[in-house]
Homo-oligomer: A and B are copies of this chain.
Amino acid sequence: MSLEPIDRAILKELAADGRCSFTDLAERVGLSVSAVHQRVKRLEQRGVLKGYAARLDGEEIGLPLTAFISLFPIDPAAPDDYPKRLEHLQQIEACYSVAGDASYVLRVRVASPSALEDLLRQIREAANVSTRTTVVLSTPYEDRPPAV
C-alpha cells in the first residue's frame, strides 16, 4: 500500500515524461533497467499507474474553448446517476462529484461558443439538471506533475 522512495522517484519521472524509456528511467533513479521495468509493471498492475496520455494543445486541435459546468439536479428525488447519463458526451473531459452548492462539476472542451451552447442543452436534457457555466479565458498552467 505505501510507496517506497524508488517508486516515488519512478512515478515522478513518468508523470513529467510519460514516454521516458526504461533505460533513462533506470539512470535517473539509479537502478538497473530490469529492476525499473519490474517496478513499473507492478505499479501498473497495482493501479498506482493508471495509464499514460499525450497532452494536446486545445487550440491546435480545434477545441479552443474550455469551460467548467456546475450541475444542479432539478428533481431531488431522482437517482444519482448523472455521470453515467453524461459519459457519452465526448466533450466532457472530466466529471467531479463535489461538496458545494453544485452536485457535480464538469470540465468540457469545445470548438466554439455555439458548440458550448449545444452541449449545455444536451447536458440539461440528458441529466435533468440546471447548469452554471464558467468559461476559461486562458490556462497559465495545467497538468503539472503532482508532488509524488
Q: Are A147 and B90 in contact (CB under 8 A)?
A: yes
Interface string of A66-103 (1 = CB under 8 A from B): 10100000000000000100010011111111111010
Q: A68 vs B59: C-alpha distance in the bound complex, in angstroms?
A: 24
Assess whether B63 is in contact with A57, with CB atoms less than 8 Å apart. Answer: no
Among B17, B47, B55, B140, contact of A57 (Cβ-Cβ < 8 Å)? B47
Tell me the smallest distance from the CB of A132 to a CB of chain B, in Å. Answer: 9
Find out whether the CB atom of A51 lies under 8 angstroms from the CB atom of B134.
Answer: no
Contact with B along A102-130 (1 / 0, CB 8 A): 10010001000000000000000000000
Q: 17 new A-B pairs (CB below 8 Å) besides A19-B19, A63-B147?
A: A8-B61, A11-B56, A18-B54, A46-B60, A49-B54, A50-B55, A50-B56, A51-B54, A52-B54, A61-B146, A92-B144, A93-B144, A96-B140, A96-B142, A97-B137, A98-B137, A99-B136
Sampled A-B contacts (22; CB under 8 Å)? A11-B56, A14-B53, A14-B54, A15-B53, A19-B19, A47-B60, A48-B60, A48-B61, A50-B56, A50-B57, A51-B55, A53-B53, A56-B148, A61-B146, A68-B98, A83-B140, A96-B139, A96-B140, A97-B139, A99-B137, A100-B135, A109-B146
